[in-house]
Structure 1
């Protein structure tokens, strides 16, 4: 398709909020799922979607926190169709139960939940925690919801990070069984996987009316950083600032997710990576901006899909 080669820009910027991005868009009758929808940019993404009239499901590990968030969103938006469902992305049975319980079409899936720079942890299946949560859990969830997504055409949002610039997916050792564990490299490869997933899922599912895009929300202080010591957080701030990154509010951080989920400018567009409410340019060395070639490579994306299927079948 001709339009697929054009670089997508929008009237919105790094300063835009989720509410501004969705203003004027009517999502009445549309159904959305936001993973990790109880806090951080997840709750702001859910709030913006609910504010535009969507039926929103917060897919969360902590049900009590999810219910508090849902009540707050309903009070805020007047939308009573905000519900909570349990989902633990590291638990195959939990993901399978969520997809089995889903009934009817799904129009927007925001794969937002994530962990960052965790201490070395393995899941019950022996998988490295960050790859398991950030990539494999969302991969299994999205595949399990394929029929619901395909029934009326849907958008899937894969929340990545500029950290994808620091590491490709190391297929030889994705779970750090051979190499020493590095929390940042583990995080980075999982975020590269989020971009590659959007590339291959779009290729496979575009004919079903499903498009998948990835994005970098920006630098936002949320409980995602809960595993960092104060000193590490200080270092992270100074590195990001040195690379020209400004901190965003959670409302600004959710804007690119909401844009990718709802903007008419992205109709039929998939397999791309966005930042600051526009499609990212190729990575500029020395900065934290742009998208790495290793994250958009179609052959790597196809390989990741096959490897992920194998891991999940194992």
Structure 2
């Protein structure tokens, strides 16, 4: 990759990106791998030779998928910090690729975890933060680990409100809360790279695109124009690209390219990344808050 450019684009598939790539001897963890993008990301990494672990809530469904695409299954509920801690504590050996893929979107009513966290922020960001930190030793042991943090173009209309991350003062907005959680996932990649790059660990955020999956169960399906929609194979392409990038970290990718930083929100369904989603001060502040929330 030169100057943020790759040979791939909007229509590229995960198989296109990984053609000729050999991931033999590498271990990968994909969260939320019982549907949509998670399945395809796990399948593509496994097809390239990686030993893939599916971190899922529904172990029985995970076993069915693992039988079809290869790999193994472990129970992981990102809304439950005890489950995340148990998973991280039970991990053995190095981890070369961590794909923080699982997510929920536009939960219609304000819902909190047992710890009092707003549910979308808890699942999309905080659970993945705790998982990433918990697996730091395994990532460092891999000598060149890659973290993929699933963001969304929804971050473009939702900067973090640091003083009210749990919606205790503001009126709850389902899409707004989703967008904030995806701003947070982008910032996770920024700070993880800053803190851990000296250990060979790099992290990048990705917007996979508009793909019809169970993620839209609360929105009545995709609202995106047909020409801007992707298949799951195309949606997983940017994730697997980020999983194999060398020497690049703390950035945001879409359509298999590094995104352009925009000065204001683009027209609906436009692309780009907001400056606040890459801001190192925001990333450092969020990391410290998340450490306290998950302590």
Report the TM-score when normalising by structure 1: 0.90
Residue 29 (structure 1) aligns with:
25
| Residue 186 (structure 1) aligned with residue 167 (structure 2) | no
| Residue 295 (structure 1) aligned with residue 285 (structure 2) | no
The Cα RMSD (Å) is 1.4
Cα deviation, residue 311, structure 1? 1.3
Residue 252 (structure 1) aligns with:
234
State the distance in 2 between where 1:69 and 1:175 align.
34
Cα deviation, residue 7, structure 1? 3.1
State the distance in 2 between where 1:292 and 1:175 align.
22
State the distance in 2 between where 1:223 and 1:70 align.
19
| Residue 40 (structure 1) aligned with residue 74 (structure 2) | no
State the distance in 1 between where 2:134 and 2:3 align.
31
State the distance in 1 between where 2:22 and 2:154 align.
33
Q: How do 1:76-225 residues align onto structure 2 when only pairs under 5 Å count?
A: 82-119=71-108, 120-151=110-141, 152-225=143-216
Matched-pair contact (CA < 8 Å) for 1:123–1:132:
yes
Cα deviation, residue 245, structure 1? 6.1
Output one character per residue of 1:44-81: Cα deviation in whole Å (capped at 9) or x when no partner: 0000000001000000001111111111113xxxxxxx
Instruction: Find 1:269's aligned residue among 225, 242, 248.
Output: 248
State the distance in 1 between where 2:128 and 2:289 align.
14
Which structure carries more helix by proportion? Answer: 1
Report the TM-score when normalising by structure 2: 0.95
State the distance in 1 between where 2:267 and 2:35 align.
31
> SS where residue 196 of structure 2 aligns?
helix
State the distance in 2 between where 1:15 and 1:111 align.
23
Output one character per residue of 1:171-193: Cα deviation in whole Å (capped at 9) or x when no partner: 11000011111101100000000
Output one character per residue of 1:142-169: Cα deviation in whole Å (capped at 9) or x when no partner: 0000000001220000010000001111
Matched-pair contact (CA < 8 Å) for 1:30–1:107:
yes
Residue 8 (structure 2) aligns with:
12
Long gaps (5+) in structure 2:
none
State the distance in 1 between where 2:266 and 2:231 align.
26
| Residue 278 (structure 1) aligned with residue 257 (structure 2) | yes
Consecutive aligned runs of 4 or more in structure 1 exceeding 4 Å deviation: none
Long gaps (5+) in structure 1:
75-81
| Residue 51 (structure 1) aligned with residue 32 (structure 2) | no
Cα deviation, residue 310, structure 1? 1.2
State the distance in 2 between where 1:7 and 1:304 align.
28
Q: How many residues align?
A: 290
